[in-house]
Structure 1
Amino acid sequence: MVVGFVPPLDPLAVRQISPRYLSQDERIEIADLRRAGLSMRAIADKLGRAPSTISRELCRNAAPAGRASQPFDAHRRATARRARHHRRRVDTNGHLGVLVAELLGRRWSPQQISRHLRVLFPDDRSMRLYHKSIYHAVYQPNSRFLRPTRLAPHLRSPLRTGREHRRAHQCQRRRRKRFQQPMLTIHDRPFPPIDRSQAGHWEGDLIIGDNHLSAIGTLVERQTRTLRLVHLPRADSDSSRAALVVRMQDLPPALLWSITWDQGTEMARHLATADKLRTRLLLRLPITVATRQQREHQRAAADYFPKGVTLTNHSPGHLMEVEYELNNRPRMVLQDRCPADLFAALLASSSQSVLRR
């Protein structure tokens, strides 16, 4: 018995293809039926294929003389012929390649280059490129477009993302939940993102210190834009739960309807935090970003805590002083009123509706 070796299949061979092509299972069945002595027309009737399809298959992918049909090797050869190897227009058209390289060197985006070519050569279709073709040309191995530019010598890729290869797309439906415990997401809020008519809904986030070893929590009340800073000795779930409970437990239930936070590891004990505060702790989805006002407040707070330094040196008293200064600034979005004054009015109001308009 002669034992042969069949190398592993190319990724193109295991990709799902159109049913008009013969599959590997059909090639195995053709080999078995042919070995049993059936004619091409009989095999075609059993497979529901045209006799010419079976004839071409046996002619193109037949085994060497004197050897039985080898369906796996036949499938490999058919797959290799199905692959198309063609040169890109940016490689065959010298003038176009030079122009694209020049614009990439000036750090134009592929979309800008594609639009510019349409304006520059309105009647010459050979001088046009779809922006995805430019991306493919940059991402191909040993691309001539991957070279530093004069004004940005520290970057090898001409793309603003800095990528040198294509990033695989992730299917959101296959994404696993960050936490196994039952969790509420931002879609469980009973109001749309632009609705700020009800007080007591807070947006939370972290200001991360050097090497992700320290952090400061930020909480912004959606209606009054009141900011609360949370001192975190460590950026872990136990410290976050304890600090949030201490910082937010002084609020009445009417001003603590919900807290929205990212699905970071600091929220691993979100159920215990929500139970202790007797509120709803909602977690943003990975594709959801914080609101614009939340990011503005975080940037304003980050002015007091520069990047690249540890945040453990800032005491709770220092955070309270920063919080007081930020909350007593007049805000244009609040008609030049201060968040602290509006929040104080909410605390003194029984109906919690002083800001409803």
Structure 2
Amino acid sequence: MSTFLVTGVAGFIGYHVASRLLERGERVTGCDNLNDYYAVSLKEARLARLTEHAGFRFVRADLADRDATATLFAGERFDAVIHLAAQAGVRYSLVNPAAYIDSNLTGFANLLEGCRRQETPHLVYASSSSVYGANSTVPFSEHHTVDHPLSLYAATKKANELMAHSYAALYGLPATGLRFFTAYGPWGRPDMAYFSFTRAILAGTPIDLYNQGRMQRDFTYIDDIVEGILRVAGQPPAPDPGWRSDHPDPARSFAPWRVYNIGNNRPVELLTLVQTLEAHLGRSAVVNFLPMQPGEVPVTCADIDGLTRDTGFAPATPLDEGIGRFVAWYRAYYGL
């Protein structure tokens, strides 16, 4: 039995990761600040399910608080840290940049210090497909450079990768960054498109589709995201002896540091997503077609060769199946 620290444990991905760990008999300390970026009641409902497990302990703390983070790490030793706490969302970063500085930069720096001082055997942390920014080569590969982010959110995630690398290089902290591609599924985030589209279709209110609905996203079902996280968590990175400073590979390092994509490798147009939701909800959507929004990219698609090679896993849940499960959960949770 191992002890894991899962940050952002009341969030969408954090909840599912903690659930899977507890189901297989591990101990989980979950940390979350329960902020009100979206309904706190949904976060509390996730936590209520986790607290049914004897191996779960919850700590309410904000990682941007240096003393609170130090206390968290002083309380017990962790066999691995799975860091999923962050201020999420591209569009929100346009109106509240300070939230991203506090959570994604200051909070991550405090977490790194905790891992360093405790000599954590493996830090796995959430990056994002948004780091690919202005890249136009599809599918997106970890071996591409990602130096042109299109939002502050993306910039903070790129910064996390760099910060983790510095700790891996200086202190030997094994760190793996995971670039998630549009996670979706039951217990999801209400600010995500599939969630808000469902709410709008059932209410008969219009849906805004940017880029005339032609934007493509690599929708990745939550169970596939979790499986990828846990497989990577069990394989701390080692220094790559073949890494060359005169021809550096952005996905690997002379330090114990790696970056992987976790995506379905099957991009879908947003208009197709709407049609899939219509089929499962049995209702038609009212759609407003709008131009591209600042900070958005037209297509995301994950190259998952690295993940598959090193873990033997490739996400494969079809959109129709995943959306069907989400809609069933949505109707049950909201009594619709």
* TM-score of the two chains, using structure 1 as the length reference: 0.20
Q: Write 1 or 2 for the structure with the bigger share of strand.
A: 2
Which one has more relative contact order, counting CA pairs under 8 Å at least 6 apart? 2
* TM-score of the two chains, using structure 2 as the length reference: 0.21
